[in-house]
Amino acid sequence: MNKKESYNKRPYNSKRRRMQADQTRLLIVEAARKLFSERGYTGATIEAIAQEAGVAAETVYAAFGNKREILSKLIDVSVVGDDQPIPLLQRAGPLSVMQEKNPHRQIEIFSHDIFEIMSRMAPIFEIMRIAAKTEPEISDILQQILKSRYHGMEKFIQYLSTNITLQEDLTPAEAVETVWAITSAELYNLLTVDRGWSGEQYEQWLAKTLKKILLEANQ
């Protein structure tokens, strides 16, 4: 093989190695999702996650360093639905809410997004709340996520307020707090797990409830 042929193949090989590394990281993340759900954060060891993913423990350490970083990646993937480095507010759903002029459609799109996110994130919130009682670092991660959720609700109310006036007795701050609470993982679990609601029931209930709370009757 001459030098030119060797040079031409390097970018391809490098890209393939990156793809393989990304696939391995996702295998590890999904293995962690399964074991965190079954054993809790503390009970799911690096060795067990490696075995579930079909890789060596050294591979897990090389890819993430520690279990907390695996959890952080699992959260990132679960919030947006994939491992692409695109922030949530720059995704199709939030952008559609921002661009939509009909407030009813804004709420419906928002409710669909919340369902999609909570279907992935609600079990992880439960895992983190248990782990946060004994793991200060997990408690910090949980608080960061809750603050990020609050920021997302602020954006939603801002987008909605460009098209409507909120209920007369509802301030923007109260609206944010209310939406933040109603869209919580705890309430999602109560309805879909304890009450056995389908995803469609939850999504329709959320949209209907938010319209009643946020919109004036004639809007």
| pTM higher than the cut 0.85 | yes
Q: What is the pLDDT along the chain (219 residues), one digit of tens a residue?
A: 555 554 455 555 688 888 888 899 999 999 999 999 999 999 999 999 999 999 999 999 999 999 999 999 999 999 998 888 888 889 999 999 999 999 999 999 999 999 999 999 999 999 999 999 999 999 999 999 999 999 999 999 999 999 988 888 899 999 999 999 999 999 999 999 999 999 999 999 999 999 999 997 666
Lookup: tokens for 100: 């939509």
- Taking every pair of C-alpha atoms in the chain, what is the biggest distance, in angstroms? 77
Q: What is the pLDDT of residue 165?
A: 86
- The token duo for 191 is 């309805």
Which of 195, 180, 118, 112 has the alpha carbon at shortest distance from 146? 180
Question: What topology does CATH give the domain 1-70?
Answer: Arc Repressor Mutant, subunit A (1.10.10)
Contact 176, 150 (CB under 8 A): yes
Instruction: Tell me the two tokens of residue 186.
Output: 């705890």
Residue-wise pLDDT tens digits, 155-199: 999 999 999 888 888 999 999 999 999 999 999 999 999 999 999
- ∠ Cα 53 54 59 (to 5°): 80
Query: Residue 215 and residue 113: Cα distance in Å, rounded?
Result: 19
Q: How far apart are CA 60 and CA 39, in angstroms?
A: 18
Q: How many CB atoms neighbour CB 31 within 10 A? A: 22
Q: What is the pLDDT of residue 8?
A: 53
Domain residue spans in the chain? 1-70, 86-219
- Sign of the Cα torsion 205, 207, 208, 210 reads positive
